[in-house]
Amino acid sequence: MAQDQQAVHAGTSGTEQMSGILVYGPEFFANTALPTALDMVQRLPGFTLDIGNGDARGIAGNTGNVLIDGKPPASKTDGLGEILRRISASGVARIELIRGGAPGIDMQGRAVIANVVLKRTASTEKLINFQSYVYRDGYVGPDLTLQYTRRDGDRRDELSLEVLSDRTSYTSQGIRTRTDASGRLLQRHSLDLWDRDRTATLRTSIQRALGGGLLTVNARLDYFDYPTSQTVTLLEGSGSSGRAIDLTHQWKGELGANWNRPLGSKSELEVIALQRLGRTRYDSTTDAGGFVSTFGQRSRNGESVLRPILRYKPGKTLSLEGGGEIAYNFLDNRTDYAEQGIPVPLPDQSVFVSEVRGEVFGLARWQPSGRITVEAGMRAEISRIAADADSNRARTFFYPKPRLQLTWRPNKRDQLRLRVEQSVSQLDFSDFVAATEINLGTVRAGNGDLVPEQALTLEAVVEHRFWGKGALELSAKHEATRNVIDYIPLDGGFDAIGNIGTGTRNTLASTLTLPFDKLGIKDARFRGNASVVRSHVTDPLTGARRRYASEVPFTCSGSFSQDLFGGRFTYGVFASCGQPSTSLYRIREFRTTEVQPSLEIYTIWKPSKRLAIRLDLGNLNNAARIYDRDLYTGERNASPLLFRERRTQRRGQYVYVQFRRTL
The structure's pTM equals 0.84
Average pLDDT over residues 607-624: 93
Q: Name the percent of the chain lying above pLDDT 90.
A: 60
Q: Give me the sign of the Cα torsion angle 96, 100, 103, 104.
A: positive
Return all residues near 29 (Cβ < 8 A) that are at least 6 apart. 40, 43, 89
Q: Which residue has the higher pLDDT, 346 or 657?
A: 657
Confidence of residue 57 (pLDDT cuts 50, 70, 90): low
Maximum CA extent, the chain: 80
The number of beta carbons lying within 10 Å of the beta carbon of residue 264 is: 7
E strands, 539-578, are: 545-546, 554-564, 569-576
Q: What pLDDT is stored for residue 9 in this prediction? A: 36
- For residues 88 and 663, what is the distance between their CA atoms, to the nearest angstrom? 12
Q: Name the percent of the chain lying above pLDDT 70.
A: 92
Q: What pLDDT is stored for residue 102 in this prediction? A: 66
- For residues 163 and 168, what is the distance between their CA atoms, to the nearest angstrom? 15
Tens digit of pLDDT for each residue in 154-165? Answer: 899 999 999 999
Confidence of residue 441 (pLDDT cuts 50, 70, 90): low
Is the pLDDT score of 103 beyond 70? no
433 contacts 441 by C-beta, under 8 angstroms: no
Least confident residue range of 116-120, 430-434, 510-514 = 430-434
Is the pLDDT score of 280 beyond 70? yes
- For residues 281 and 266, what is the distance between their CA atoms, to the nearest angstrom? 50
Tens digit of pLDDT for each residue in 334-356? Answer: 888 888 999 988 777 788 989 99
Chain centroid, CA 512 distance in Å: 22
Is the pLDDT score of 450 beyond 70? yes
Q: What pLDDT is stored for residue 112 in this prediction? A: 86
Is the pLDDT score of 54 beyond 70? no
| Helix and strand counts by DSSP (H, E) for the chain | 3, 38
**φ/ψ of residue 502, rounded to 5:** -95, 160
- For residues 583 and 487, what is the distance between their CA atoms, to the nearest angstrom? 12
Is the pLDDT score of 10 beyond 50? no
- For residues 560 and 37, what is the distance between their CA atoms, to the nearest angstrom? 20
Is the pLDDT score of 6 beyond 60? no
465 contacts 316 by C-beta, under 8 angstroms: no
Q: What pLDDT is stored for residue 12 in this prediction? A: 41
The backbone region for 61, taken as left when phi is positive above 0, alpha when psi lies in -120 to 50, beta otherwise, is left
Terminal C-alpha separation, the chain: 36
Query: What SS3 state is found at 236?
Result: strand
Element holding 40 (H helix, E strand): helix 37-43
Average pLDDT over residues 302-323: 91
Average pLDDT score, the chain: 88
Confidence of residue 315 (pLDDT cuts 50, 70, 90): confident
523 contacts 562 by C-beta, under 8 angstroms: yes
Q: What is the dihedral of CA 558, 563, 569, 570, to 10 degrees?
A: 10
Is the pLDDT score of 100 beyond 90? no
Q: Which residue has the higher pLDDT, 363 or 11?
A: 363
Tens digit of pLDDT for each residue in 376-425? Answer: 999 999 999 888 876 677 889 999 999 999 999 998 899 999 999 999 98
Is the pLDDT score of 80 beyond 50? yes
SS3 track for 78-121: CCHHHHHHHCEHHHEEEEEEEECCCCCCCCCCCCEEEEEEECCC
597 contacts 624 by C-beta, under 8 angstroms: no
Query: What SS3 state is found at 298?
Result: strand
Confidence of residue 104 (pLDDT cuts 50, 70, 90): low
Is the pLDDT score of 532 beyond 70? yes
Q: What pLDDT is stored for residue 593 in this prediction? A: 94
Bridge partners for 298 per DSSP: 281, 334
Average pLDDT over residues 580-604: 93
Confidence of residue 30 (pLDDT cuts 50, 70, 90): confident
